Structure 1
Amino acid sequence: MNGQGLDDDGTITREGALDRVPAAFAPVVDATRAQITGTFGSARLHSAYLYGSIPRGTATPGISDLDLLPALHDEPTEADRTDAKTIETTLDHSFPQIDGVGILLVGTRTVLSDLERHDLGFFLASLCTPLLGTDLAEQLPRYRPTALLARETNGDLALALPRWRTRAAEAVTDADHKNLSRVVARRIVRTGFTLVMPRWGGWTSDLNECAELFGRYYPERIKQMRVAATTGRAPSADPTVLGMLIDDLGPWLAAEYTAVHGDKAPRP
């Protein structure tokens, strides 16, 4: 891998590996494997993946969350989603090393579909670390930092903004504000990075690096993006931070993204 997250052939290097998991999180990964296997079993589960800071080896005990992607043979049902919520709660309550658990439950047909080839397919093949089962990345292409990839990964930020505003208006506790600020900040930083990704010609998932690379091309917005990167790592209960992200930086970024890369292909 070169300094821009690419292999020698110019494709994006897959992030993460089980041997990079910090020692403090090894029991979490072992319990995760057992929970997913025991809950879904081979009849429902095709494969499962870790993503985020834990398989990248950059997780901080007590601060980092656990991110999981189980891929089912069939499309997830409400019963499957209920089971996933139970796993989230069980793991989160069992391990003080993690601050929250997020499970993205998907069906293999969706992952491998043409519509998701440069979004969910890219995410699994490039940003997820195999934990269980047969790796679906073997059926997906190698990806390059192109405008097509930029459009299909983050070209729908404008659709998220109204949902975030509704959640912000309904937020009551500090925990509500922190949970939402983490989601919003991470999405905005990654969208800012993919906006400039084809010009830079590489890939990174490090929030600080994403913000700084964005700032090379949009220096007038770098201070706001740095706040977003900080909030993505250490969520804020300050409603003014959330307001800046949702009502100022977010709308500007969504409009600029559409102007540069166009809109993401609509989903059913």
Structure 2
Amino acid sequence: MTTIRAIGSLCVTDSDGHIINHSDWNNINPIFLPVINDVVHTYSTHLQDDLHSVYIRGSIPRGIGIVGVADLDTIAITKQKLNNLQLKRLKDVEQELTQKHTCVDGIELSVHCMEAVLNTSSFSIISFILQTHGMCVFGEDLIPQLPKYKANEALANDHLIHLQGQIKNACDDLQDNSDIEDIKDCCKWIMKIIVRAGLALIITKKNTYTRDLYPAYKMFSKYYPEKESDMRKALEYAITPIVVTNLLLSFLNEFGTWIIIEADKWLKFYNPNRELNMKI
């Protein structure tokens, strides 16, 4: 049985309701510094003059990353959009870095063009993550140029409007899949999405947010106690992915269908025109 630790917290906001970023160099456990430096070196080597800046986010810059359990989530901002070949090379290197550094459970390399990040007329999840959870570890820090964000409809919408497609993609990926690592990655990915979507359903009720899975699960369960056991299972699968595809598919077809229906109700009320990115 998966041991669920009560780790994480709801985001703290300022007097105007804007989410406060608590990522800081002083919070980072020194054991993670070599892998952070290696990631920066990797981006610099592969992107060269196209690289503008590098950021880390998640539990590690907040000082709650558990050695051997935490992922290192990173974002590189480039001066121009990369081609598919460049993106594929980075994905290949991602696996090599994960195998090399045992102090983290996984390493995520992601790349976004500076022009898209700075286009702030409507909600952008990358801009949001950088402003509320990111920390610059290389290059010119773009965070001061980004808007401040609240836990509101625009944020909830980003979690809910893509949900049906994401669950369908997960089901398609799991069907007839025999690659153990691929199944684990898919399981972890879609279950995190489901847990955070559960919180998104009640963001407008509580005006609060977290990317941490445990408090998201607890907050959801207060409003949907009849679905607590299902969301707990999603949390367990996110922490300890399983590889039995028929169990995963059954769960996605049942609880996944339920949460898609709830998301659709939310969208009909708050976003009837189905805007992908609502105004902030």
Go from structure 1 to structure 2 and tell me whether the alpha carbon gap of 1:230 and 1:91 turns closer, same or farther (over 3 Å shift). Answer: same
- Does structure 2 conserve the Cα–Cα contact (< 8 Å) formed by 1:15 and 1:56? yes
- Does structure 2 conserve the Cα–Cα contact (< 8 Å) formed by 1:190 and 1:207? yes
Q: CA deviation at 1:93?
A: 2.4
- Within the alignment, does 1:70 sit opposite 2:76 as a pair? yes
- Does structure 1 conserve the Cα–Cα contact (< 8 Å) formed by 2:123 and 2:154? no
Measure the CA separation in 2 of the matches of 1:237 and 1:62: 20
- The equivalent position to 1:10 in structure 2, one of 10, 17, 25, is 17
Go from structure 1 to structure 2 and tell me whether the alpha carbon gap of 1:58 and 1:230 turns closer, same or farther (over 3 Å shift). Answer: farther
- The equivalent position to 1:92 in structure 2, one of 98, 106, 111, is 98
Q: Percent identity?
A: 24
- Which one has a larger percent helix, Structure 1 or Structure 2? 1
SS of structure 2 residue aligned to 1:55: coil
Tell me which amino acid in the other structure corresponds to 1:24: I
Higher relative contact order (CA 8 A, sep 6+): 2
Which residue is 2:39 aligned to?
Answer: 32
Q: Structure 1, unaligned stretches of length 5 or more?
A: none
Measure the CA separation in 2 of the matches of 1:56 and 1:241: 34
Deviating beyond 4 angstroms after TM superposition, the runs of 4 or more aligned structure 1 residues are: none
Measure the CA separation in 1 of the matches of 2:98 and 2:248: 25
- Does structure 1 conserve the Cα–Cα contact (< 8 Å) formed by 2:160 and 2:200? yes
Which residue is 1:169 aligned to?
Answer: 175
Tell me which amino acid in the other structure corresponds to 1:191: A
Q: CA deviation at 1:67?
A: 1.4
- Does structure 1 conserve the Cα–Cα contact (< 8 Å) formed by 2:120 and 2:146? no
Q: TM-score, normalised by structure 1?
A: 0.89
Q: CA deviation at 1:95?
A: 0.9
SS of structure 2 residue aligned to 1:205: coil
Measure the CA separation in 2 of the matches of 1:116 and 1:83: 31
Tell me which amino acid in the other structure corresponds to 1:123: I
- Does structure 2 conserve the Cα–Cα contact (< 8 Å) formed by 1:6 and 1:203? no
Which residue is 1:243 aligned to?
Answer: 249
Which residue is 1:127 aligned to?
Answer: 133
Which segment is superposed worse, 58-67 or 24-33?
58-67
Which residue is 1:260 aligned to?
Answer: 266
Q: TM-score, normalised by structure 2?
A: 0.85
Measure the CA separation in 2 of the matches of 1:109 and 1:153: 23
Which residue is 2:30 aligned to?
Answer: 23
Per-residue Cα deviation, 1:120-169 (whole angstroms, up to 9, x for no partner): 32122212221212222222211111112211343210111221111110
Measure the CA separation in 2 of the matches of 1:242 and 1:3: 28
Measure the CA separation in 1 of the matches of 2:237 and 2:32: 23
Tell me which amino acid in the other structure corresponds to 2:144: E
Q: CA deviation at 1:244?
A: 4.4
Q: CA deviation at 1:245?
A: 4.0
Q: Structure 2, unaligned stretches of length 5 or more?
A: 1-8
- Within the alignment, does 1:152 sit opposite 2:162 as a pair? no
Q: CA deviation at 1:223?
A: 0.9
Which residue is 1:179 aligned to?
Answer: 185
- Does structure 2 conserve the Cα–Cα contact (< 8 Å) formed by 1:48 and 1:68? yes
Q: CA deviation at 1:246?
A: 1.7
Tell me which amino acid in the other structure corresponds to 2:84: E
- Within the alignment, does 1:107 sit opposite 2:117 as a pair? no
Go from structure 1 to structure 2 and tell me whether the alpha carbon gap of 1:4 and 1:40 turns closer, same or farther (over 3 Å shift). Answer: closer
Measure the CA separation in 2 of the matches of 1:154 and 1:104: 22
Which residue is 2:209 aligned to?
Answer: 203
- Does structure 2 conserve the Cα–Cα contact (< 8 Å) formed by 1:4 and 1:201? no
- Does structure 2 conserve the Cα–Cα contact (< 8 Å) formed by 1:65 and 1:102? yes
Measure the CA separation in 2 of the matches of 1:29 and 1:11: 28
Tell me which amino acid in the other structure corresponds to 1:253: I
- Does structure 1 conserve the Cα–Cα contact (< 8 Å) formed by 2:159 and 2:196? no
Which residue is 2:5 aligned to?
Answer: none
Measure the CA separation in 2 of the matches of 1:83 and 1:3: 36
The total of aligned residue pairs comes to 265
Per-residue Cα deviation, 1:10-38 (whole angstroms, up to 9, x for no partner): 11112422322223222111211222223
SS of structure 1 residue aligned to 2:201: helix
